Amino acid sequence: MTESIKQKVQDQFGVAAADYATSDVHAKGESLGRLLALLNPQPAWQALDVATGAGHMALALAPHVARIVASDLTSEMLETTARLARERGLTNVELLRADAEHLPVEDASLDLVSCRLAFHHFPRPDVAAAEMARIVWPGGWLAFTDNVTVADRAAADYYNAYEKLRDPSHYRVDSQAEIVGRFERAGFEILASERLSKEFEFHGWADRQRVSPADKERLLDMMRRIPPVLEPLFAPRWTDGTMYFSLWELVLVGRKR
């Protein structure tokens, strides 16, 4: 399972890399600004962004730190990050092809480790969190975001089935308590947490992951039948011949104890 999900990640994101360069939720999402404001990054910092995708978090941090390593499992994503860094004239961004669960980085060697909108792809998220804690020194910073779901287990399973039908490389979105607990167990003290809500137009969201027409119908049908406890999260709206819905994103800032 662990290796097959990682192959699916590379299959899915390899073909979608260019779309992630321009995807609004990734390139302009509110969480980028919130993380920068909560973190207050410093010019001497050495940083690493885990699962950087098209590099939006790494490129937002780059002007504020000495050096940032943008790491990802998918080569095409790193090529996209490199192109965007060049276009923006950023010279302190380095690329590293690496699995989040096994980072080839020395212990306690960084001031900041970040990871935005990617943990739901990791089959062993506790291992990834422990890796992130290992590579920053005591007092070093954690900047994290990911989608988050409700605590009710059956509703959380329904939520995850919806996301997984759209993207087979989706592994699992957890509740806020599960995510915070994971980083606390890894050795971080969580200093700030915020939950954002972001809106999607259904077809744009599905097309970014090449969803077939038949699976789109299944997804729309799932949304018509959501459990009541997911109503406040998805908040589906049917208008203009399409469907709009929301996802929640958890933003965390922490420090290594």
Ligand X SMILES: C[S@@+](CC[C@H](N)C(=O)[O-])C[C@H]1O[C@@H](n2cnc3c(N)ncnc32)[C@H](O)[C@@H]1O
Binding site for ligand X (CB under 6 A): 6, 9, 13, 26, 51-54, 56-57, 72-74, 77, 99-101, 116-118, 121-122
- Answer whether 112's CB lies under 8 Å from 39's CB: yes
Q: Kindly tell me which of 52 and 175 has the beta carbon lying closer to ligand X.
A: 52
- Answer whether 130's CB lies under 8 Å from 159's CB: no
Distance in Å, CB of 138 to ligand X, minimum? 25
Rounded to an integer, what distance in angstroms lies between the CA atom of residue 134 and that of residue 136? 6
Q: What is the DSSP letter of 89?
A: T
Q: What is the DSSP letter of 230?
A: G
Q: Kindly tell me which of 113 and 155 has the beta carbon lying closer to ligand X.
A: 113
Q: Kindly tell me which of 53 and 187 has the beta carbon lying closer to ligand X.
A: 53
In the complex, residue closest to ligand X by CB: 53
Distance in Å, CB of 69 to ligand X, minimum? 12
Is residue 8 classed exposed, middle or buried when 0-12, 13-18 and 19+ CB atoms within 10 A define those classes? middle
Concatenate the DSSP letters of all residues of 192-222 into one string. Answer: EEEEEEEEEEHHHHHHTTT--HHHHHHHHHH
Rounded to an integer, what distance in angstroms lies between the CA atom of residue 56 and that of residue 250? 17
Distance in Å, CB of 17 to ligand X, minimum? 8
Distance in Å, CB of 29 to ligand X, minimum? 7
Distance in Å, CB of 246 to ligand X, minimum? 17
Q: Kindly tell me which of 2 and 197 has the beta carbon lying closer to ligand X.
A: 2
CB neighbours of residue 202 within 10 Å: 19
Distance in Å, CB of 58 to ligand X, minimum? 8
Q: Kindly tell me which of 101 and 111 has the beta carbon lying closer to ligand X.
A: 101
Q: Kindly tell me which of 175 and 209 has the beta carbon lying closer to ligand X.
A: 209
